Every structure is written in structure tokens, then in C-alpha cells.
A and B are shown apart, each in its own frame.
Chain A
Amino acid sequence: MPHRQGPRPGARWLAGAAPAAPAAAWYITFFVLPLAIILVYSFGYKPPSGIAQTSIALDGLSLDNYRATATPLFAELFLMTLRTAVVGTLLCLLVAFPVAYALATRIPPRWRGVALAAIIVPFWTSFLLRTFAWRILLAANGPLSDALQSLGFMAGPLRVLDTMGAVQLGVVYNYLPLMIFPIFVALEDMDPALREASMDLGAGHVRTFLHVTLPLAMPGVSAGLAIVFVPLAGEYVTPAILGGVRGAMAGNLIASQFLEAQNWALGAAQAVVLVALILLVVGVAWSAGVALGVLSRRLWHIDADAAA
């Protein structure tokens, strides 16, 4: 018996939607509403000290906070943040893809659960402590520095700690599983016969990869890129632990407005700017992806839908 398509009449529609009602109420009250309030706050200003209960005054709404954020001081920080996020996401992809590929194609199905668990287990350790462990590893007088110097790769001690470099490493470390899993799922779904057929027909490893494997893995890759880039751009803890002053990201700036400067209006505006920038990058990447898809279809007759 085929399942019905399309909206169902009256009471049945309600019965179908009813179980989602608590969630809907929960999300509207405790997610949508708070975010809307942030948007409103971004147009406010910080009241003169000592007066307000909350650190926000809303009687004179303006774009001042946005203007303040556009100044070179803050703008540079936001650009650095985006750069770290984009580079970090791409590095994650480069590291994760072979891992996912190995998991999906080289490890026998019986052992895949164990292999996945082996990758998750490090992430059952406290996020804070394992990020802090990098402070110990990357210290100027730490094991990595000593090893690099004795091997001749470096003339002096390692000075990457408390810079954006350490943050870059830290975020790749922390976001790796988020990239591995969706790509693994997409690759595992792919019928190995497709690859074998391609090789049987004479295509080498590289061509098979580019024309068969990669297009079919694209949904997983896109998912991975999205779920890594967006939270990464808003990172707060990793730069706080590894970055010091020079490695601060937008998240740290926003946090300081709320926790130290008590300027909620400016903090809210900066949060909105961060989200807008994230959406911008995602939009650009998405358009590039679409363009690439159209191009590959035209030039090389690659059509993943036809193959699947």
C-alpha cells in the first residue's frame, strides 16, 4: 500500500503535527525569541554606568554599534576570524576525506563500528582538557618544540602558542570528527561496483576518483563543510585557551562585550555581524558549488544523479 503524498484533511493533519507541538513551543520560546531580542538589542546603546539593572538602554535606537564594528580595529578581527574558519574547514576536509575513504572502502563492514568508535573516543574527553593539552604540547619548552629543534627543522624554540597558528591547529583537531562522519556516510552508501566498473572500463585511479567517487561523495562533503564552518567561525573556547591576544577570534570579542565591557548593545551588534558574515561566506560557497556542478556536467559529462 503506497503512502499518501500531499497534505491530509483537517483533524488528521493536526494529529500528524501534534507530537511536534512541544518542540515547536520550546524552540519558539527559547530559541527564536532570544535571537530576535539580540537583533533588537543590537540597535540599543550602553547606558551610563551605575544606572541600569541590565546593561542595555533601548530608548534611542540607532546603527551606532554597527558603525563602531566597521572600524579597522574590529573589522580586522572579523576578517582574521573568517580566514581562520575557511582555512580550518578546508584543512579539516583534506585530513578527513582520506580517513572517511579508508573507513568506507578499506575497513571490513564488521569493524567499521569499532573504527568509528575509535575516532569518537578522544572526543569523550573533556574538550577543555584536550585543547589545553595542546598548550602543553606546543609550549616553547615542550616536547614538540624540543623534537623539532633536535631534528633540525627549527633553529629556535617553537613560538606558535598564543598566536592564530595554534588556534588553527586546535580548531582542526576539535572539528575533525564532524567532517569525517558525513563524508563517511556518503562514501559508505556508494556502491563499490561503480568504482570497479569504472576501472574495468579503463579509467585509472585518479579519473575514477574525480569522475565517480568524488561526485557521489559531494552531499557528504557539503554537509561536512557546512557543519564545520559555521560553528568554527563562532569559536570561543579554543582561541581563549590557545590563542592569547594575537589569536583572538570574533567569539572572544563578543564574549568580552558581555562579560567584561558590559556593553550588551555592541556585543549584540557584533554577534549579528558575525552571523551575517558567516551567511555571506556560506552563500558564496554554495553558489560556487552550484556553478561547479553545472560546469562539470557540461565539460566532463559527470552527472551523479545518473550514476546513482
Chain B
Amino acid sequence: MTGRLLWSWLFVVLVFLYVPIGVVIVASFNAGRFLLNWDGFGLAAYAAALSNEAIRSALWLSVRVALATALLSVVIGGLAGLALAKATGRWTRPFMGVVLLILVAPEIMVAVAYLIFFVRLDLNWGFARLVIGHSIFGSAVVALLVRARVGALNPSLEDAAADLGAPPLRVFRDVTLPLTAPAVVAGGLLAFTFSLDDVVIASFVSTSGSTTLPAYIFSALRTGLRTELAAIATLALGATLFILAVTVGLLRRADGGHAAIVRTMAGGDHG
């Protein structure tokens, strides 16, 4: 009885989660210009979206910012996570506190803080503003995941390597790094997705001429609700799923399970 209730609930929740996605995908095939008026089935929205110069440059900027953010986050956050897991100084507690603060801080407050700060610093290069703003959150995510993963590693693995004569750098390269890989990849993916999808920070720190795709969509939604936006969203979803499938496929061979990645992303990893 409980089992059946649980399964029905799971089904209901999945429907709840997917109906809006269905709406977006269906809306992208609206041959009309405006999202709220169904004008027949067609690919006009996709054609319009892909030929729109503003959309193309916004997309290009978003991708570049997301890549830079992911890279920076992985390096800064990965190193921090490693240090947090291994070190025993008293600095680890306040540092973790800041990391957690970054992760839960309301975006509006952070975005406003960045705006003020960048204006104060007279930093007007849009790309840098965006990457800085996004990498704070991104690196915090990576640090958290790497710390959890490294912390859960069996210490005898590294000790065994050391006992067998490997110098510390070799131990790191051949034992620690491969075992930490799922956390680094998961963190990088999360940082990339966060940056790509971020609206609030992007809306506040973008300068004119450097608008990210979400910032563009947000302002476009306010004015004319066009079907091109649904087309972009569907394309983006398709691309993300594709990248995810490829990454998972690649890592499956390396680590033996997509579950490891998803589990690490879910925040818990126990071997």
C-alpha cells in the first residue's frame, strides 16, 4: 500500500516537473511570432532564433563566459577543496563558513554587491565582470564537492603508494587526482551550467554590449513574448543533454558509473 502510494507520488511529481518543459518545447514549434497565440505548427521560430544577430552574440558570450567560469572555478575551487580536506589548521572552519555563505547567499544581494563593487573599481570590461561574478559561486561548488570526495577517500590508498616509494607529487598525480576526478568534473559541470543559466548576476553586471543569453531573454520576455525564445531554450536543452550524454559516456569508461557523478553532484559520495 505504501509502495503504491510512493510510486504514484513519484509519477505525479515527475509529471509536475516535466509539463512546463513540454510547454516550452511545444511552444517552440509555434509558427506564429508570439508565444501566447498559437498559429500553426512550424519551424519558423528556430529559423528566426538562429538568424537573430542579438541572440547569436548573446549566446556566444554566454558560452565563453561559462567556459571561462568553469575553468577558473575548477582550478580555484579544486585546490581549495583539496586543502580543506587534507589540512588541519584552524583556518578551515571560517573558510568553510565563507564557502557555505557563498552557496546560500541570495543572488540579488550578491548581484547588487558586485554592481557596486565593479563601478567603484571602474571595471567596465563585461566579460571579466561576468566571469568574476560567476566564478565565486562556481568555485565554492567545486570546493565543496572536491572536499567531500577527497575526505571520503580511503587514506590507505595514498599511504600505500607512498610506502611503495612514490614521491608526494606522484601520489597526487596517480592516486589522488584520478580518484577525485568525478568531483572535479561534476563541479565543473555545475559551474558551467550555473554560469550559462544565470539571470540575476548577469542582469546586474552586464555592460551594454555584453549581454548574456539569459539576460537577453529576461529583458525580451518583458517586452515581446516571442516564440524564438522557446526555440532557443529547446535548442539549449538539446545541446546540454547531448554534452551530458557524451561526458557521462566518457567518464563511464574511466570511473565505472554515471551514478558516481550524479551522486557526487547530489552532494554525497561514499566510495
Contacts and interface: CB of A to CB of B under 8 A. Distances in A.
Interface of A: 1, 3-8, 13, 16-20, 22-24, 26-27, 30-35, 37-38, 41, 54, 56, 95, 98-99, 101-103, 106, 109, 112-113, 116-122, 124-134, 136-137, 139, 173, 176, 181-182, 184-186, 188-189, 205, 223, 226-227, 230-231, 233-237, 241, 251, 254-255, 258-259, 264, 267-268, 271, 274-275, 278
B269 to A, nearest CB: 9
B200 interface: yes
Contacts of B19: 133, 137
B98 A34 contact: no
- Which of B104, B120, B133 has the most C-beta atoms of chain A within 10 angstroms of its own C-beta? B104
Interface in B76-121: 76-77, 79-80, 82-84, 86-91, 95, 98-99, 101-110, 112-117, 119-120
Interface of B: 2-3, 5-7, 9-10, 13-14, 16-21, 23-24, 27, 35-36, 75-77, 79-80, 82-84, 86-91, 95, 98-99, 101-110, 112-117, 119-120, 132-133, 135-136, 139, 143, 155, 159, 193, 197, 199-200, 204, 214, 217-218, 221, 225, 229-230, 232-233, 236-237, 240-241, 244, 257-259, 261-263, 265-268, 270
Contact of A130 (B20, B132, B204, B221): B20
A259 to B, nearest CB: 8
A243 to B, nearest CB: 13
A41 B2 CA distance: 55
19 contacts: A19-B83, A27-B99, A30-B133, A34-B113, A34-B116, A41-B116, A98-B10, A99-B10, A133-B23, A137-B20, A176-B13, A176-B17, A189-B270, A230-B106, A231-B104, A235-B108, A236-B107, A254-B108, A258-B115
B7 A102 contact: yes
Contact of A271 (B89, B108, B218, B237): B108
Nearest to B114: A34
A294 to B, nearest CB: 25
B88 A5 contact: yes
A133 B106 contact: no
A89 to B, nearest CB: 13
Given A136-B27, A231-B106, A4 B7 contact: no
Contacts of A54: 119-120
A4 to B, nearest CB: 7
Contacts of A274: 106, 109
Nearest to A18: B83
A136 B29 CA distance: 15
Given A34-B116, A106-B3, A129-B217, A173 B16 contact: yes
A116 B117 contact: no
Contacts of B109: 35, 38, 234, 254, 271, 274-275
Shortest Cβ-Cβ A-B pairs, 4 listed: A234-B106, A113-B259, A16-B87, A185-B268
B20 A234 contact: no
Contacts of A126: 24, 197, 214, 217, 232-233, 236-237
Contact of A136 (B23, B89, B139, B159): B23
Nearest to A254: B108
A190 B83 CA distance: 29
Given A13-B89, A54-B119, A128-B221, A98 B263 contact: no
A251 B201 CA distance: 13
Contacts of A255: 108, 112, 204
Interface of A, secondary structure class, is: helix
B266 A185 contact: yes
Contacts of B257: 113
A106 B6 contact: yes
A99 B262 contact: no
B241 A264 contact: no
A20 to B, nearest CB: 4
Contacts of A4: 88
A27 B113 CA distance: 13
Nearest to B98: A27
A27 B136 contact: yes
A32 B109 CA distance: 12
B76 A22 contact: yes
Contact of B17 (A19, A122, A131, A181): A122
Contacts of A227: 103-104
B89 A37 contact: no
Contacts of A13: 87, 89
B76 A268 contact: no
A143 B13 CA distance: 19
Contacts of A26: 76, 135-136, 139
B266 to A, nearest CB: 4
A143 to B, nearest CB: 9
A37 B88 contact: no
Given A24-B95, A127-B199, A241-B221, A34 B117 contact: yes
Given A19-B80, A124-B237, A189-B270, A132 B221 contact: yes
A254 B103 CA distance: 20
Nearest to B80: A23
Contacts of A117: 258, 262
A32 B17 contact: no
